[in-house]
């Protein structure tokens, strides 16, 4: 039987309209705006000032703590300004504005596309490269990659899981890199496996991407034959079910283990990285290439077939520039999403700059996305059936509306992964996740406060 | 595109709505409705008309003039109650009795609790049980009027198989034809006519994912096992599993009434407990109670246990085993 997670889940139409569009390289704009907050944790601190000349791949900001990341220039040119600019939500964040001049790369970066399959021996040096090249998780959370690859003392990785599920509808960027950069991804996986002490490595891909399963399996087989350090890597096909790519769900599906509430994957011996992160690790370690590019999908049902795209972009390109290049925002689009339709963010400011984790410009029409009026809960239980964490959203909703904090905590609101399955499924259109998200924040604050007091 | 919509995720929604679910329940009941109208004729049609119209109208009037809040008849839930109530009444029920049933169902059992989602008891059953207690003569007169097909007045006039057992012991139903019961021709309320029509509705509800099978199957299994044991011990005294599954409202109740979202438990385990409870209570009433039929009472009693069941049965949570 095909593997999948054991609790809940939903089956939205997968809508992978752009899956056959090859990755195209976007031309350089005249300006880029590079955000200091492209990763989970503290925003990076700029180390350049207006007037400085920079090259592509050069460090322009340094991490501001343990959980933070380096940021590099994605273009060559002159720093125009360092200051606040609005991000996609419309909030101010420090950006480095760079006028693009030519396309000159910093020294030491291998720009050729020759595949380097030999895995360096020195784990410390590998981690240093991953860190210095600003690699962060590209599956959504943008957690600094090197931190995840250093299990805390006493914990040991037993399985590295590469997330190629891409369970969000519409998105196809992971699919495309699995087809077009399969061997690089596998090298990246082997590098991470080596860093983690040579644990079992599983590349999980949903069954609705048979091409990707085939190509990735071939890449694994080929590298296992021709190079050293690739043993113990395999491809696993997973059932198509959302949220198959959720970290906790993937661990359940692949290893049959469940992470405890408020725990970390490493507690059960798991490390999960996205396939795009694996590619970034390859680039960083084998090519000394910092994370300054990524692939995003431009899609939506209101776009004709010839205007669906997968683009390789340089970080800092404004979303509006990408949209314009792709032929403009379609007339019928009522909402633009960055990320998937289930967990992505609605873009308030289309002029915001792309970041490391940008994965899409998804156009949804009003008919697709406008929320219907809320009616009374009919106690159908569909939200609970859908919840992959086994929570009872109807109950959490009731408790949250009455400010019942103890009951919320008892009923595990803090375990919510914000996947949206409950709200998606509710026939009464109750904004379950909106309410649960706020309650979860409150309860986690209470739990943290209690823990701090104990110390 | 003038202004971008901005709202939190998720940005998509399933196509099911309360309305679509309730409409599916009505569709699932249609085979039973059609069979009963075919066999009971005009008077049956009148009962459906009065029941549905009064349920819908009452909910409209109550929400609009009494509670002064948005009208909810558009969600089809009042129509579901109307059809269900009619399926629970004998074809000879006078129209004004039907109206009283509707008033109890919608006015008392549903709206005084706060409308859809809030009621403790299934409105249609509350209506039926009220009528059963208040108008026993009308409610147990199972004379069958002439229908559009078949002949209405036959040997079993005046009593349901279950009633016959209560009156005359098990020998009274010795020559019942089970095949007949499967298709039609079971004495009883409209909805108790054809087992097949109800099962077709059950399959439809499952396929459309309106309900899950746990409640229905646990009721049927309990009835079968319970009566099987008694029958095996003393077949001269007790009716057997097949008889008990095909007679009375057990199919109608287990498929359409016990599965009502609002008045059944939320979790699967809770559903099974609820179902076993209904099955046991039904059989206790049938074998030892004063009434020949016990499904409605059993469901009402178990309805009142739902808050308790919900308190004890929660879904299995991730990572907390
Ligand atoms: S958003 Fe939270 S509560 Fe809703 S289904 Fe997902 S995990 Fe469950
Ligand atoms: S899905 Fe909506 S209507 Fe159904 S139980 Fe959950 S909150 Fe209530």
Instruction: Give the tens place of pLDDT for each residue, A165-177.
Output: 999 999 999 999 9
Which residues line ligand 1 at a C-beta cut-off of 6 Å? A 386-389, 391, 393, 416-422, 432-433, 436
Quick one: closest CA in B to A438, which residue? B8
pLDDT-derived band at B143, boundaries 50, 70, 90: low
Instruction: Give the tens place of pLDDT for each residue, B16-52.
Output: 999 999 999 999 999 999 988 887 888 889 999 999 9
Q: How far apart are CA B126 and CA B29, in angstroms?
A: 19
Residue B210 has pLDDT above 80, yes or no: yes
**Closest C-alpha residue for ligand 2 atom 3:** A377
* Closest in B4, B18, B118 to A348, CB measured: B4
Dihedral pair phi/psi, residue A32, rounded to 5°? -130, 155
Assign 3-state DSSP to chain A and report helix, strand, coil percentages, each to 5: 30, 20, 45
A and B: number of Cβ contacts within 8 A: 154
Task: List Cβ neighbours of B313 (8 Å cut-off, separation of 6 or more).
Answer: B265, B266, B267, B269, B270, B273
Q: Using an 8 Å CB-CB cutoff, list chain B residues near A348.
A: 4, 6
Length of chain B: 321
The reply to whether residue B319 touches residue A259, judged by beta carbons under 8 angstroms, is yes
pLDDT score at B187: 52
The ligand 2 atom at the shortest distance from the C-alpha of residue A397 is 7
Give CA A296 to chain center in angstroms: 11
pLDDT-derived band at B64, boundaries 50, 70, 90: confident
The reply to whether residue A260 touches residue B319, judged by beta carbons under 8 angstroms, is yes
Residue B181 has pLDDT above 80, yes or no: no
Orientation of helix B77-87 relative to helix B42-61, angle to 10°: 150
Token pair 């948005």 in the structure block, residue: B70
CATH of A1-23+103-370, one of 3.40.50.12780, 3.40.50.1100, 3.90.550.10, 3.40.50.11540: 3.40.50.11540
pLDDT score at B150: 57
Tell whether B2 is within 8 A of chain A (Cβ). Answer: no
Global confidence as pTM: 0.90
**Closest residue by Cα to residue A170 from B12, B14, B7, B9:** B12
**Closest residue by Cα to residue B252 from B175, B312, B157, B188:** B188
pLDDT score at B72: 83
The sheet that has A59-62: what strands, in order across it? Answer: A45-46, A59-62, A71-72
Instruction: Calculate the dihedral angle through the C-alpha atoms of A139, A140, A144, A145, rounding to the nearest 10 degrees.
Output: -10
* DSSP state string for B151-182: -SS-TTTT--HHHHHHHH-GGGGTT--HHHHH
Contact A133, A69 (CB under 8 A): no
Mean pLDDT in runs of 10 for chain A (455 residues)? 87 93 94 92 92 93 90 94 92 94 92 91 93 91 89 90 94 95 95 93 94 95 91 93 93 94 92 95 95 95 92 95 92 91 93 93 92 92 95 95 94 95 96 96 93 82
Q: Using an 8 Å CB-CB cutoff, list chain B residues near A259.
A: 319
Find the range with the poorest average confidence among A57-71, B151-165, B216-230.
B151-165
Residue B157 has pLDDT above 80, yes or no: no
Q: How large is the ipTM?
A: 0.88
Cβ neighbours of A355 (radius 10 Å): 22
Percentage above 70 pLDDT, chain B: 82
The reply to whether residue B318 touches residue A415, judged by beta carbons under 8 angstroms, is yes
Please state the domain extents for chain A.
1-23+103-370, 382-454
Contact A5, A249 (CB under 8 A): yes
Kindly state the average pLDDT of the residues B56-67.
89
pLDDT-derived band at B243, boundaries 50, 70, 90: confident
Alpha carbon separation from A105 to A74, A207, A284 (Å, rounded): 9, 39, 14
Of the residues A320, A328, A379, the best mutation for testing chain B's interface (the one with the most B CB atoms within 10 Å of its CB) is A379
């Amino acid at each position: 039987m095909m593997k999948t997670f054991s609790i809940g889940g939903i089956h939205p139409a997968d809508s992978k309209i752009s899956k056959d569009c090859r990755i195209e390289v976007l031309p350089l704009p005249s300006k880029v705006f590079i955000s200091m907050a492209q990763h989970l944790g503290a925003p990076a601190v700029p180390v350049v000032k207006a007037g400085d000349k920079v090259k592509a791949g050069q460090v322009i900001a340094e991490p501001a703590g343990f959980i933070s990341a380096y940021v590099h220039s994605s273009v060559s040119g002159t720093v125009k300004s360092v200051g606040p600019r609005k991000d996609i939500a419309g909030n101010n964040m420090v950006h480095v504005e760079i006028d693009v001049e030519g396309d000159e790369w910093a020294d030491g970066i291998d720009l050729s596309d020759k595949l380097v399959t030999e895995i360096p021996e020195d784990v410390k040096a590998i981690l240093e490269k991953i860190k210095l090249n600003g690699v962060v998780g590209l599956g959504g959370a943008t957690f600094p990659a090197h931190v995840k690859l250093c299990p805390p003392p006493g914990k040991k990785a037993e399985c590295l899981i590469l997330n190629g599920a891409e369970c969000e509808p519409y998105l196809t960027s992971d699919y495309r890199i699995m087809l077009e950069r399969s061997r690089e991804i596998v090298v990246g996986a082997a590098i991470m496996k080596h860093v983690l002490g040579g644990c079992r490595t599983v590349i999980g891909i949903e069954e609705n991407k048979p091409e990707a399963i085939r190509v990735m399996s071939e890449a694994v087989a080929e590298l296992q034959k021709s190079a050293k350090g690739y043993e113990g890597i395999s491809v696993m096909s997973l059932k198509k079910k959302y949220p198959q790519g959720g970290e906790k769900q993937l661990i359940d599906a692949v290893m049959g283990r469940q992470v405890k509430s408020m725990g970390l994957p490493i507690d059960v011996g798991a490390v999960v990285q996205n396939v795009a992160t694996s590619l970034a690790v390859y680039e960083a370690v084998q090519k000394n290439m910092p994370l300054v590019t990524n692939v995003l999908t431009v899609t939506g049902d209101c776009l004709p077939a010839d205007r669906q795209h997968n683009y390789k972009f340089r970080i800092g390109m404004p979303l509006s520039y990408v949209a314009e290049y792709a032929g403009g925002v379609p007339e019928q689009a009522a909402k633009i999403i960055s990320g998937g339709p289930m967990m992505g963010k609605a873009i308030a400011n289309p002029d915001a700059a792309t970041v490391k984790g940008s994965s899409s410009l998804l156009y949804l029409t009003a008919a697709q996305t406008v929320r219907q009026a809320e009616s009374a809960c009919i106690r159908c239980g569909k939200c609970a059936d859908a919840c992959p964490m086994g929570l009872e959203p109807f109950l959490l909703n009731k408790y949250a509306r009455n400010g019942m904090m103890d009951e919320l905590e008892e009923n595990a609101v803090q375990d919510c992964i914000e996947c949206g399955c409950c709200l998606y499924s509710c026939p009464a259109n109750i904004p379950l996740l909106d309410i649960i998200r706020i309650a979860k924040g409150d309860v986690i604050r209470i739990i943290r406060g209690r823990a701090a007091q104990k110390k | 595109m003038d202004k971008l919509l901005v709202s939190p995720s998720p940005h998509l929604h399933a196509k099911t709505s309360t309305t679509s679910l309730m409409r599916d329940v009505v569709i699932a009941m249609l085979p039973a409705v059609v069979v009963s109208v075919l066999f009971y004729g005009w008077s049956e049609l009148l009962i459906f008309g009065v029941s549905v119209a009064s349920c819908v109208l009452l909910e409209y009037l109550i929400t609009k003039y009494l509670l002064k809040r948005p009208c909810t008849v558009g969600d089809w839930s009042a129509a579901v109650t109307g059809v269900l109530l009619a399926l629970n009444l004998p074809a000879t029920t006078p129209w004004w009795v039907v109206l009283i049933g509707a008033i109890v169902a919608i006015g008392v059992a549903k709206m005084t609790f706060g409308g859809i989602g809030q009621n403790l008891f299934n409105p249609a059953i509350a209506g039926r049980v009220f009528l059963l207690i208040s108008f026993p003569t009308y409610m147990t007169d199972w004379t069958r009027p002439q229908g559009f097909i078949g002949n209405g007045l036959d040997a079993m006039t005046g009593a349901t198989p279950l009633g016959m057992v209560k009156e005359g012991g098990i020998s009274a139903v010795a020559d019942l034809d089970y095949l007949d019961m499967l298709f039609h021709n079971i004495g009883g309320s409209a909805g108790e006519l054809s087992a097949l029509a109800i099962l077709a509705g059950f399959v439809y509800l499952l396929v459309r994912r309106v309900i899950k099978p746990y409640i229905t199957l646990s009721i049927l299994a309990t009835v079968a096992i319970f009566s099987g044991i008694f029958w095996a011990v003393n077949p001269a005294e007790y009716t057997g599993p097949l008889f008990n599954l095909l007679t009375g409202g057990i199919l109608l109740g287990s498929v359409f009434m016990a599965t009502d979202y609002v008045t059944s438990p939320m979790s699967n385990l809770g559903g099974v407990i609820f179902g076993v409870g209904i099955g046991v209570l039904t059989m206790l009433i049938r074998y030892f109670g004063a009434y020949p039929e016990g499904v409605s009472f059993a469901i009402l009693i178990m309805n009142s246990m739902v808050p308790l069941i919900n308190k004890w049965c929660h879904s299995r949570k991730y990572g907390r085993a």
